[in-house]
Chains A and B, each alone.
Chain A
Amino acid sequence: MSPAQWDLPPELCCRPMAFVALTGLDVVYNAVHRAIWDAFCANRRADRVPISFKVLPGDHEYPKCRTKRTSYEWYIPKGILKTGWMNKHLNLVPALVVLFYELDWDEPQWKEKQSECATKVEIVRTSLQGRNTKVAVVLIQKKTPLPPGEDVMASERAAALCNACDLSGKSLFVLPHTDHLVGYIIRLENAFYEHAQTYYYTEIRRVKSHKEFLNKTTHQLLFVRHQFKTAFFSELKQDTQNALKYYRAAYSLIHELRTHETNILEIKTMAGFINYKICRLCFQHNTPLDAIAQFRKHIDLCKKKIGSAELAFEHAAWMSKQFQYFGDLFDEAIKLGLTAIQTQNPGFYYQQAAHYAQERKRLAFQLCGGPEANLGYPAPDPLETPTGILDFYGQRAWRQGHQSIDPPDPEKEKGGILALQGREKEVPHSELIIALLSNAVAQFKKYKCPRMKSRLMVQMGEEYYHTKDYAKALKLLDYVMCDYRTERWWGLLTSILGTALRCSYLMAQVKDYVSYSMELVGRASMLREDQKSRIQKNVAKVLKNEPPEAEPDCDPSAVKAAQALWNERGSQASGEDLILEVQDSVPFVQCKARFLHPSFHLDVPVQLHVFLLTDSPHPVRFSKLCVSLSNQDYNQYCVVDSLGQAPAQEDMCLVPGRTHRYSFRFVARPEDVGKKIEITGVDLMLGSENGRCIFLNWRGGGGDAASSHEALQATRSFKRRGLEPQISVQLHHEPPALNNEMYCMMVTIQSHEDIVARDLKLTAGLKPGQDANLSHTTHVTLDGSKMCDDSHRALLPDIPMGDLQPQEKMEKPLSIRCSTTGPRIFLVHVAYTVDTCIEGRDIVCKCHKDETVTIETVVPFEVAVKFVSTKFEHLEHVFVDVPFLLMTDILSMSPWPLHLVTSELQLAPTMAAVDQPASQVEEVVLQTGESASECFCLTCPPVHHGTTGVASGQYVMSWKRKSANATIPVVNTVITLPHVAVETIPLYVHADLPSFGRVRESLPVKYHIQNRTAIVQEVEMSVEPSDAFMFSGLKQVRLRILPGTEQDMLYNFYPLMAGYQMLPLLNINLLRLPAVSGQLLRRFLPSRIFIKVTFNGPANSGIESGARCWSYPSLILTVSQRRSSKVLRQKMGRTVPLLCPPSPNRLSRR
C-alpha cells in the first residue's frame, strides 16, 4: 500500500455526473466528427447539463453484468463496498450509448444504410447485455431538416429506421451539420440527460428491490452497501437531496455493524467515505452547521475505535485525514461564498489534523521503533495482492473477504502487522505535520487569531527541529519569540528559547547561541537555577573560544556533528567581535543610563550614571563599558575599561543581584549650548581580545523587553545651557502708550557679576514673530527728541553698550512710536560675554538676559465735531453766506493727564471764518474723562449750483502727555472735519439789536431783509403784538426788494417787563416763493432778549449808547463733563443775570 493509503479515492471526491458514451464518431480522421465531439466536450460551462461524455468504438466491450442472483439465502457478503464499483459507474457503465451515423433522409441507398445502422445498434446492444443502459441513434445529416410534418419522406423513413433498430421514436435524433452546431448539440445533450435520468432511476429501483431478500443477521454489510449505492445513483441522477438522505441512512447502518479487530478498519474507512459525502452535500446545500454537526458526530463515534494496538498509528493517521478532508471541504465552501468566523474556521480542523499527525508520528515511533531499529520486513510481502489492488475498501491484503471475528491465520496476521509497521517507518511524518500546520496557520491568519498562529508556528518550528532542519526551525521560532516577549508570557518564551538554543547549538551559530543563552539565564526565564548555571557556564566557554557543552535532549549523532562544527568555529574565529542588540530581548544584564539633570549649565560638568544589574546565577565579568552620545566627541569620556583609568578589578565584575553604578563626568563644549544631547547607546563588552568579544548593545538609555520604558525616556537626554546671567534688566515706563506719541521707556541694566561683563549689547524693540503689520506701525529710536517716521525700524539690534563693571548700573532711554492701537510685545535682550574657568579650562561664556513686556497702545482722546446755528440749534445743513458755528469736543481717553499744547483749524477754501479763529484750548490739561470744547463761527461762501456737500477742512491738535519732559516732541493729530451740506436761501433776514434792553426804555431793532435771488421779490411782513413790548414801526407792510439789495426795517420796541422776554414775532411771507416759510427765516432772528430793570428812569437810553450789534463771540470755556455749552450760552449774553424785581404792571399797559 502506498503512503497515500489514507487518502480518499478520487472517484469519491469528484462530483458524480451521468456517464454517456458516444460511438460511431471518428474524431481523429473525420473533421465533421471532430467538430461534433468538440461541441460536446470543449468549454463546457456550468449551465450545461452535468454529463461526462466519452467516445468509444462501436464494438466497445462494456463490463459484464453478473447474472442476477435470485436468492440471497446462502450468500455471505465478503465486504461492504468493492473498490471498483464507483469507478465502474462513473466511467465504465454508461447510462446511455449514443450511436452516431451519417444518413440523410434522401439517401439513395437507403435500404443498405438502414440495415447497416441496425447492425451497429445490435452490436452495441449485445455488448451491453443484461444492463439497463439505453441506446440512442443520432443521424448526422448534411441538409437542414424541414419543419416536422412537412417532410413526408423523412417521417416515413424515420419510422422505418426505428423499427429496424428496435428504437423508440424518442431515441432517434437528427443532427444537421450546419452553422448552428452548438445549439443543436445543447438540445441533444438535454435529451441525453433525460435518458440518463431514467436509467439511474431504474438502477435505484433495482438496488432497492434487493432489500426484501436480505436478513439482518448475515446481510448487514449489504444493507450498508445498498444504501450507499442508492445514494450514489441519486447523486448521478443529480438528486442530491435524496442522495443525502440515503447516505445518512447508510451512515447510521454502518455504526450498527458489529465491530471487531478484523473489520474495524473497513468500517472506519467506509464511515469516513460516507461522512465525507454527507459533509460535502451539506456544504453544497448551504447548511454548514449540519455538516459540522455530522462531522462532530462522526468523530465522536469513531474516536475510540482504535482497533489493533499494534497498529494504533493507523487510527491516528485515519483521524488526521478525517480532519484534513473536513478542513478542505470547509475551505472549499468558503471559496464558494460561505463566511466563517473566528471560532469556527477550517484552521481548527487543520490544527486537529496536525495534532493527530503528531500523534501518529509518536505512535509510529513507539510501535515501529526509531530509525535504527530494524524489524525485518517479511517476505513474501503480505501487503501484495495478485491484482495489485484490494477487492473491498478498508480490508487487509492478506485476508481479503474475511469477515469472521478471529483472523484465519495468526502467523499471516503477524507478518502483515510487521509489514505495515515497516511501511509506516518510511512515512515522512514531519512533512505531513508541517504541511497541515502551515495550512492551519494560513487559516488562523485569515480569521484574526494571531496567538493561535504563533502557537502553530512554534509547533512547526519544533517539527523542523525534529527533522533536523535547524535553520528553518530557528527562523520560525525567532519570528514568534518577539510576540511572546511583548506579551510577557515568560513561561512560553522559555520553552521556545530552549528549542532555539538547541537549534543554534547544533548549527554552531555563535551569535544566536549566546543571545538565546543570555535570555535563558536572564530574569524572564523560568528555568531552574541549575539549568541557568549550566547555560551561563556554556556562555563563559564560548567567550573563551571553547566549544560549549551539548544541550540535553539533543540527538546524539547530531551532537557529534555539532561538536565538530564548534571546534572548527573556534579555530578560525579568534578575536571575532559579536554585537548583540539586546534592547528587544531580556538579557541577563540589565542596564539603565541617565543624566543627573535634564539640563546642565555651561560652567557645571555634565554627569551621567550607568546602572548595571545581573540576574544570572554567577558573577559576570566584563572588560569594557562605553556609552555613546549623540555628539560623538564626548564618547571618549564615557568609557570604563581595564586600560584607561584602570578601575579596581571588582568594578569590572557584576555580582548577581547587586546594582552597580558607573559615573561619568565631562565638560561640555560651549558650541553645544542649547543643543540636546542624547545617550544613543550603551555597549558592554564581555570576553576578551584573545578569546571572543561579545558586545551587548542597548540602544538609547538601556532597558529591555521586560522593563518599563516610560521612566527612562525622561532622563536619556540633556540640554546644554549657557551660564545663568547675573545681570538685572529693568524697564521703567508708564503704560499704556498713546497712539502716535513718542512713548518713553527707560532700560536700566545692572550687573551682579563678580567680573566685568564685556561687550554688552542691547537689542530692543518689537519682539519678532508677531503680526507682520505691527512691524510697519511700530518704530523705535534711541533719540527721543525727534519724531519717528517710517525710516525707523521696529527692532534695534545689537546696540553696543560697552563693558559693565560689577555692580555698575547703566540706563538707556528708548522711544517707541506706535501708530496703531492694540497690544504689542516688546523685547529687551541684553547679551554679553564673561570669561570663566571650569576644571582648569578657560572658557568664554556668552550670557544673555531677555525681558519682554506687553504694551497696550490706546487712543489718547476723541474729537467730536458738530455744526450748529448761531442759536446753537443743530444744523442738518448750512446756508450760503449765513454764519454758523463749528463746535469741537475733545474727550480725553488717556489714563494719564493730557497736555493740549494748541489746536488749529485749517479751513478748506469752501469755508471762511467770520473772524480770526484762535485756539481756545491752548495749554489746557485734561484729566481722564474730561473734555474740552472749541467753537468757531464760520460762513460758507456761495457755491456752484448743484453742489450739495462741501469739505470743511482739518482740525489739528497738538498735544503731549503731561508727564513728558520738554524735549519730547509734541504730537500733531490731524482730524479731518466732516463734509457739510450747503443750501442757498432766496431771502436772508438778520436783525440788529442791542444785547439787552431796559424796562420802559426804547429799544431800537433794525431788521435787514436781503434778496438773494436774481428777481424782484415781493415780501409781506407783519409784526405780531406782544404783551411784553409796545413798539413803533410798520405793523404790516408789503414791499418789493430788488435783486441783490437789502431792505432795512426799523422798529422801536418799548419793553414793558423785565427778564427774558420773547420779542414780537416777525412774520415774513414771500409771495413768489411760498415754499420759503416764515418759520425758516425766523431761525436767523433772535427770539428773545433780556430786559433789565431801571431805577433812574430812562437815562442813557438810546440805540447809540445801550445797544450794540449782536456779535458772535468765539470764546470757549473748558469745563469738565461737557457742561461747556451751557456756560457758554451765559457768557454769550455778556451779562450775568441778576435778580430783577418785576416791573410794574401798569407801565406795560401804556
Chain B
Amino acid sequence: MMTMLGGEPFLLVSKQEQQNYPLYIRSVPSDSELKFHYTVHTSLDVVEEKVSAVGKVIVDQRELYLGLLYPTEDYKVYGYVTNSKVKFVIVVDSSNTSLRDNEIRSMFRKLHNSFTDVMCNPFYNPGDPIQSKVFDSMVSSMMVQTC
C-alpha cells in the first residue's frame, strides 16, 4: 500500500505475509508517477532486509519506524513496518527540509492509526486494495500539509 503527496511523493506499501503487493498508492499527480512506483517498489529491498535483520537481533520490537531507507539524488524514502508486517513507505523530495525525522515519524503514526481503522471495518477484506474515503482524506490532508 502506498501514497504520495504534492511536491513530495509519499507512498505506503503493504505486504501480507510474504507478499509485497500494494494495498494503497497515492501520489501527486505528475508525469513521474510511474517513477515513484518504481522507487517504492525498489525500497522494499531495504525494508525486507531491515525487517529480517530485526528478527535476527531482536532489537526493540516496538520500534516500527525503520527510518530513512536510502537517499537518492532527488528523493528521500522512509519506511515503517507494523507488527503484522504491513509496510508503509513515504517518499519525499530531498529538497524539502521542513520534514525532519520527527515529522515523518508522526506521519507514519497517523497513517498507521488510520490503517487500523480501515482494518476494523468489518466489510474490509484484509489483503484487498484500500478503498476508504476516510483514509483518502487523511492522506490528502497529510499531502497538503507537506506541500
What are the residues of chain A within 8 A of B38 when measuring CB–CB? 455, 458, 492
Q: Give Cα distance in the complex from A491 to B36, angstroms.
A: 11
Specify which of B21, B34, B69, B73 is in contact with A487 (CB 8 Å cutoff): B21
Known: A343-B46, A449-B45, A455-B41. A495 touches B34 (CB 8 A): yes
The answer to whether B25 touches A491, judged by C-beta atoms less than 8 angstroms apart, is yes
Contact of A342 among B20, B22, B41, B49 (CB under 8 A): B49
Q: A342-B45, A449-B42, A491-B34 are in contact. Are A352 and B21 (CB under 8 A)?
A: no
- A355 to B74 alpha-carbon distance, docked (Å): 11
Q: How far is the CB of B124 from chain A (nearest CB, A)?
A: 18
Which of A355, A448, A488, A489 lies in contact with B37, CB distance below 8 A?
Answer: A489
Could you say which residues of chain B place their CB within 8 Å of the CB of A452? Answer: 42, 45
The one of A343, A352, A355, A492 in contact with B41, judged by C-beta atoms closer than 8 angstroms, is A492
Q: Contact string, B63-92, partner A, CB cutoff 8 A, digits 1/0?
A: 000000110110000000000000000000
Contacts of A489 in B (CB 8 A): 20-22, 37, 41
Q: Are A355 and B42 in contact (CB-based, < 8 A)?
A: no
* CB neighbors of B among A490-522 (8 A): 491-492, 495
Whether A355 contacts B73 by the Cβ 8 Å rule is: yes
Do A451 and B42 touch across chains, with their CB atoms under 8 A apart? yes
Point out the residues of chain B lying under 8 angstroms from A929, CB to CB. none
Smallest Cβ distance from B136 to chain A, in angstroms? Answer: 18
Q: How far is the CB of A1039 from chain B (nearest CB, A)?
A: 101
In this assembly, does A428 line the interface, its C-beta being within 8 Å of a C-beta of chain B? no
Contact (Cβ within 8 A) A492 B44: no
Could you tell me which A residues sit within 8 Å of B by CB distance? Answer: 299, 342-343, 348, 352, 355, 448-452, 455, 458, 487-489, 491-492, 495
Nearest first, the 8 A-B pairs at minimum CB distance are A488-B21, A449-B45, A452-B42, A343-B70, A451-B42, A451-B45, A455-B38, A487-B20
List 7 additional contacts besides A449-B42, A492-B37; criterion CB under 8 Å: A487-B19, A487-B20, A488-B21, A489-B22, A491-B34, A492-B38, A492-B41
Question: A299 to chain B: which residues have CB within 8 Å?
Answer: 73
A residues within 8 A CB of B34?
Answer: 491-492, 495
Please determine whether A450 and B41 come into contact, CB atoms closer than 8 angstroms.
no
A342 touches B46 (CB 8 A): yes
B68: nearest chain-A partner, CB-CB: A343
Q: How far is the CA of A671 from the CA of B72 in the complex (A)?
A: 67
User: How many angstroms from the CA of A299 to the CA of B71 in the assembled complex?
Assistant: 14
A sample of 25 inter-chain contacts (CB < 8 A) reads: A342-B45, A342-B46, A343-B46, A348-B70, A348-B72, A449-B45, A450-B45, A451-B41, A451-B44, A451-B45, A452-B42, A452-B45, A455-B41, A487-B41, A488-B19, A488-B21, A488-B22, A489-B20, A489-B22, A491-B34, A492-B34, A492-B37, A492-B38, A492-B41, A495-B34
Min CB distance A1140 to B, Å, is 94
Evaluate contact between A352 and B73: CB separation under 8 angstroms: yes
Contacting residues of chain B (35-71) with chain A, CB-CB under 8 angstroms? 37-38, 41-42, 44-46, 49, 69-70
Which of A343, A455, A458 sits near B69, CB closer than 8 Å?
A: A343
CB distance from A762 to the nearest CB of B (A): 54
Separation in Å of the A155 CB from the closest CB of chain B?
69
Q: Which residues of B have CB within 8 Å of A487?
A: 19-21, 41
Most buried by B among A352, A450, A455, A488: A455
Residues of chain B lying within 8 A (CB to CB) of residue A449:
42, 45-46
A348 to B42: give the CA distance in the assembly, Å: 12
**Nearest CB of A to B46, in Å:** 6
* Alpha-carbon distance A342/B126, docked complex (angstroms): 31
A342 to B73, CA, bound (A): 17
Q: Which residues of A contact B25 (CB under 8 A)?
A: 491
Q: Determine the distance from Cα of A962 to Cα of B34 in the docked complex, in whole angstroms.
A: 92
Least CB distance, A5 to chain B, in whole angstroms = 24
| Interface of chain B residues 2 through 36 with chain A (CB within 8 A) | 19-22, 25, 34
Query: In the complex, what distance in Å separates the CA atom of A448 from the CA atom of B72?
Result: 18
Residues of A within 8 A of B49 (CB): 342, 448
A343 to B72, CA, bound (A): 10
Q: Which of B41, B44, B46, B70 has the most CB of A within 10 A?
A: B41
Contact status A448-B45, CB under 8 Å: yes
Minimum C-beta distance from A445 to chain B (A): 11
The residues of A that contact B72 with a CB separation of less than 8 Å are: 348, 352
Chain B nearest CB: distance from A672 CB in Å?
38
Interface residue from B37, B42, B73 paired with A491 (Cβ < 8 Å): B37
Q: Which B residues lie within 8 Å of A448 (CB)?
A: 45, 49
Bound-state Cα–Cα, A75 to B19, Å = 70
Task: Kindly report which residue of chain A lies nearest to residue B73, judged by CB atoms.
Answer: A352
**Cα distance A570–B94 in the bound complex, in angstroms:** 53
Question: A455 to chain B: which residues have CB within 8 Å?
Answer: 38, 41-42
With a CB–CB cut-off of 8 A, which chain A residues contact B73?
299, 352, 355
**Chain B 108-135, CB within 8 Å of chain A: the 1/0 string?**
0000000000000000000000000000
User: B19 to chain A: which residues have CB within 8 Å?
Assistant: 487-488
- In Å, the complex CA distance between A342 and B49 comes to 8
Bound CA–CA A448/B42 (angstroms): 11
Q: How far is the CB of B70 from chain A (nearest CB, A)?
A: 4
Q: How far is the CB of B47 from chain A (nearest CB, A)?
A: 10
- The chain A residue sitting closest to B70, CB to CB, is A343
Contacts of A458 in B (CB 8 A): 38
Residues of chain A within 8 A of B46, CB atoms compared: 342-343, 449
Minimal Cβ-Cβ distance residue in A for B21: A488
A355: which B residues are within 8 A, CB to CB?
A: 73
Smallest CB separation, B76 vs chain A (Å): 12
Q: How far is the CB of A316 from chain B (nearest CB, A)?
A: 13
Residues of B near A348 (CB, < 8 A) are: 70, 72
Q: How far is the CA of A448 from the CA of B48 in the complex (A)?
A: 10
Shortest Cβ distance from B52 into A: residue: A448
Q: Which residues of A contact B22 (CB under 8 A)?
A: 488-489, 491
Min C-beta distance of B79 to chain A, whole Å: 11
User: In the docked arrangement, what's the CA distance between A784 and B22, Å?
Assistant: 76
Give the nearest-CB partner of B49 in chain A: A342
List of B residues within 8 angstroms of A343 by Cβ = 46, 69-70
A355–B69 Cα distance when bound, in Å, is: 20
Q: How far, in whole Å, are A458 and B38 apart by their CA atoms in the complex?
A: 10
Complex alpha-carbon distance, A343 and B41, angstroms:
15
CB closest residue in chain B, given A343: B70
Q: What is the CB-to-nearest-CB distance from B34 to chain A, in angstroms, rounded to a whole number? A: 6
Which residue of chain A has its CB nearest to the CB of B22? A489
Nearest-CB residue, chain B, relative to A484: B41
Q: Which residue of chain B lies nearest to A450 when distances are taken between CB atoms in the complex?
A: B45
Shortest distance from the beta carbon of A755 to any chain B beta carbon, whole Å: 53
List the B side residues contacting A488 at CB < 8 Å: 19-22
Distance A352 CA – B72 CA, assembled complex (angstroms):
9
Q: How far is the CB of B28 from chain A (nearest CB, A)?
A: 15
CB distance from B35 to the nearest CB of A (A): 10
Least CB distance from A326 to B in Å reads 13
CA distance A348 to B69 in the complex (A): 13
Quick one: closest B residue to A342, CB to CB? B49
CA distance A449 to B48 in the complex (A): 10
Q: How far is the CA of A355 from the CA of B25 in the complex (A)?
A: 24
Question: Which residues of A are found within 8 Å of B37, using beta-carbon distances?
Answer: 489, 491-492
A249 to chain B, nearest CB (A): 28
With both beta carbons as reference points, the residue of chain B lying nearest to A447 in the complex is identified as B45
Cβ of B70: which chain A residues have Cβ within 8 Å of it? 343, 348
B107 to chain A, nearest CB (A): 21
Cα separation A452 to B70 with both chains bound (whole Å): 12
Q: Which residue of A lies closest to B20 (CB)?
A: A487
Question: In the bound complex, how far is the Cα of B50 from the Cα of A878, in angstroms?
Answer: 88
Measured CA separation A458–B45 after assembly (Å): 16
* B117 CB, nearest partner CB in chain A, Å: 24
In whole Å, how far is A706's beta carbon from the nearest beta carbon of chain B? 10
Question: How far apart are B44's CB and chain A's nearest CB, in angstroms?
Answer: 6
- Which residues of chain A are near B41, meaning CB under 8 Å? 451, 455, 487, 489, 492
State A449–B44 Cα separation when bound (angstroms).
9
Q: Which residue of B lies closest to A303 (CB)?
A: B73
Considering the chains assembled together, what is the distance between the CA atoms of A921 and B11 in angstroms? 97
CA distance in complex: A491, B20 (Å): 13
- A495 partner residues in chain B, CB cutoff 8 A: 34
